[in-house]
């Protein structure tokens, strides 16, 4: 059997196709908005360009590179916890270096400039802490001066003799 090729021509026996509507009856779309099909996604290259108007206005004032991070300062060391004035005063009183330098200064030894500067700073801080806590440093020194050592040995002996006679 010989092969017969298919043709697009319907021939005299095929059904007729329905007539098309004229192109004038199709509604005309308005502008570019309706010509796009929904669901196609964003346009190519719009990764950095898609900002709203409010964002564009704020960005116009500040031209920043979006790749840069925060400008907030990062502390490189752990913050020191503040000691209470009582604890700080106690630590200054127990400081061996401070006590040694004070002893050397009272004995008349000459201190180096660095030691003298450190001693001055520590003594100033000690005075400041004493003022904060209401401690009168001059009153502590005067306690020894207020006590009178005017005991006359003869008076003591006379009192003993008079007490023994009775």
pLDDT tens sequence across 82-98 = 889 899 999 999 999 99
Domain borders along the chain are 85-137
Give tens-digit pLDDT for 102-124.
Answer: 999 999 899 999 999 999 999 99
Structure confidence at residue 156 (pLDDT): 62
Q: Is the pTM of this model over 0.85?
A: no
**140-160, pLDDT tens digit by residue?**
555 555 555 555 555 666 666
Q: What percent of the chain has pLDDT over 70?
A: 54
- By three-state DSSP, how is residue 131 classified? helix
Burial of 101 (0-12, 13-18, 19+ CB in 10 A): buried
């Amino acid at each position: 059997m010989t092969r017969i090729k298919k043709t697009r021509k319907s021939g005299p026996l095929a059904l007729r196709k329905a007539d098309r509507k004229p192109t004038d009856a199709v509604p005309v779309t308005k502008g570019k908005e309706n010509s796009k099909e929904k669901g196609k996604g964003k346009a190519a290259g719009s990764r950095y360009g898609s900002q709203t108007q409010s964002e564009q206005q704020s960005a116009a004032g500040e031209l920043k590179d979006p790749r840069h991070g925060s400008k907030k300062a990062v502390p490189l060391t752990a913050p020191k916890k503040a000691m209470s004035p009582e604890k700080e005063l106690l630590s200054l009183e127990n400081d061996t270096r401070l006590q040694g330098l004070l002893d050397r200064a009272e004995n008349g030894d000459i201190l180096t400039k660095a030691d003298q500067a450190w001693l001055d700073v520590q003594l100033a801080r000690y005075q400041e802490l004493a003022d904060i806590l209401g401690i009168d440093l001059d009153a502590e020194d005067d306690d020894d001066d207020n006590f009178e050592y005017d005991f006359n040995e003869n008076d003591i002996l006379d009192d003993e003799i008079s007490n023994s006679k009775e």
